[in-house]
Amino acid sequence: MAVYNDSLCRVCRAQHKKLFLKGDRCFSKKCALDKGRGAPGQKQITLHFNKPTDYKVHLQEKQRVKMMYGVLERQFVRYFNIAIRQKEIPTGDKLLEILERRLDNVVFRMGFAPNRRAAKQIVSHGHVLVNGKKVDIPSYITKSADIVEIKETSRKIPLIQESLEERNIFPPWLEVNKDAFRGEIKSLPNIPELALGINPTLIVELYSK
């Protein structure tokens, strides 16, 4: 599996948008975008003919989402094909719902990790239980009423403790008991209510061309 090992802040600068790849750090004054740093290798000059094409706008939105959730193209397309087959909610919202339900994202959202990259590592190393059973697959798709918790023998890991102590706000579709290192998925995520700053319609239009 391909792994991105370059600077994560460099990715946000290239996209001209915060992707929150470093979790809570992105809300601090250390954020490269808040310091006014432009895209890597880009001169601070804007010309009138530099307006991006429609294709570039659509592609950038897809790339942003892939980088946010740490998903490669093949897996992303598989999620899109699942989303497009259902008719209950818009395809774009269903795609983001599936990404939000990934176990590594749930671990991050519950505060057990400071960012999704760390959450993926925590899951891969076998520190997470789902309904009492160890699950070490970051791409595992959780369901409503699932119980996600940190193994008792892993609760003293400093990264997990520090991350949980600093997190006080959780998405409405999750219920977290910080003292028990446990959380429950109360319902499936309602994408419009989460205000992720993503326009999923652009991604649907890109794949529909």
CATH of 8-98+198-208, one of 3.40.50.360, 1.20.58.1690, 3.40.50.150, 1.10.1050.10: 1.10.1050.10
**Ranges of each domain in the chain:** 8-98+198-208, 102-187
Do the strands 174-177 and 128-130 form a parallel or antiparallel pair, or are they unpaired?
unpaired
Listed as ranges, residues in the chain with pLDDT below 70 are: 1-50
Alpha helix stretches (DSSP H) within the chain: 8-15, 54-69, 73-85, 91-100, 103-109, 116-124, 158-166, 191-194, 200-208
State the DSSP code for 130. Answer: E
| CA atoms of 193 and 196, how far apart (whole Å) | 9
pTM of the shown model: 0.79
- Quick one: 155 exposed, middle or buried, by C-beta within 10 A (0-12, 13-18, 19+)? middle
Question: What local confidence, expressed as pLDDT, does residue 35 receive?
Answer: 61
| CA atoms of 204 and 80, how far apart (whole Å) | 8
- CATH annotation of 102-187: 3.10.290.10
Residue 176, SS3 per DSSP: strand
Question: What local confidence, expressed as pLDDT, does residue 33 receive?
Answer: 59
